[in-house]
């Protein structure tokens, strides 16, 4: 897994946004893609924190940012582009999207999602991915997309939970 800031630790989040936009621009240039202002704005909004965000939430935030109403198809087209080029991931359990820290490499993501604060972290561990692929192949199944979503408590929420628990 690449060494990125862990979302539940204090860090300069502007670096996350800047790195994501720089990676998107480099990828667009290398592949001859049009990374429009609107696509960049949606990507920036997705990266504004490490919490998955839904399409309608993005639509509202984009309207606030631009001062204009934004139609759902506009946001969905931007999301489709960002998904197609692996700049973001869709978390099906939340019907939401999160930025991809490694858009230049194809990978199957594993996500840990804090059920208390909503922060999500992408992991990319071959030691998890490979046995799942082998198991699928053993029954003749070809995996086209692999996303594993794990729900629980991040270190901060575990600590907060322990503090608020009353002794038995």
Contact assessment for residue 150 and residue 120, using Cβ atoms and an 8 Å cutoff = no
Q: HSE, CB side, 13 Å, CA atoms: give it for residue 12.
A: 4
Query: 124: buried, middle or exposed (CB in 10 Å: 19+, 13-18, 0-12)?
Result: middle
- Would you say 100 is a known binding-site residue? no
The answer to whether 16 is annotated as binding is no
Return d(Cα 98, Cα 139) in angstroms, integer. Answer: 31
Binding-site residues for Zn(2+), please?
114, 117, 154, 157
Binding-site residues, please?
114, 117, 154, 157
């Amino acid at each position: 897994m690449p060494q990125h800031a862990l979302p539940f630790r204090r860090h300069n989040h502007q670096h996350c946004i800047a790195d994501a936009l720089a990676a998107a621009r480099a990828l667009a240039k290398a592949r001859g893609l049009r990374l429009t202002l609107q696509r960049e704005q949606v990507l920036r909004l997705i990266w504004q924190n490490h919490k998955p965000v839904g399409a309608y939430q993005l639509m509202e935030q984009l309207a606030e940012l631009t001062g204009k109403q934004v139609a759902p198809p506009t946001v969905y087209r931007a999301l489709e582009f960002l998904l197609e080029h692996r700049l973001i991931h869709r978390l099906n359990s939340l019907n939401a999207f999160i930025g991809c820290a490694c858009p230049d490499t194809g990978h199957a993501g594993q996500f840990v999602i804090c059920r208390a604060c909503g922060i999500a972290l992408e992991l990319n561990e071959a030691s998890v991915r490979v046995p799942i692929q082998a198991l699928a192949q053993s029954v003749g199944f070809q995996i086209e997309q692999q996303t594993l979503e794990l729900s629980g408590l991040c270190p901060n929420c575990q600590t907060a939970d322990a503090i608020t628990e009353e002794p038995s």
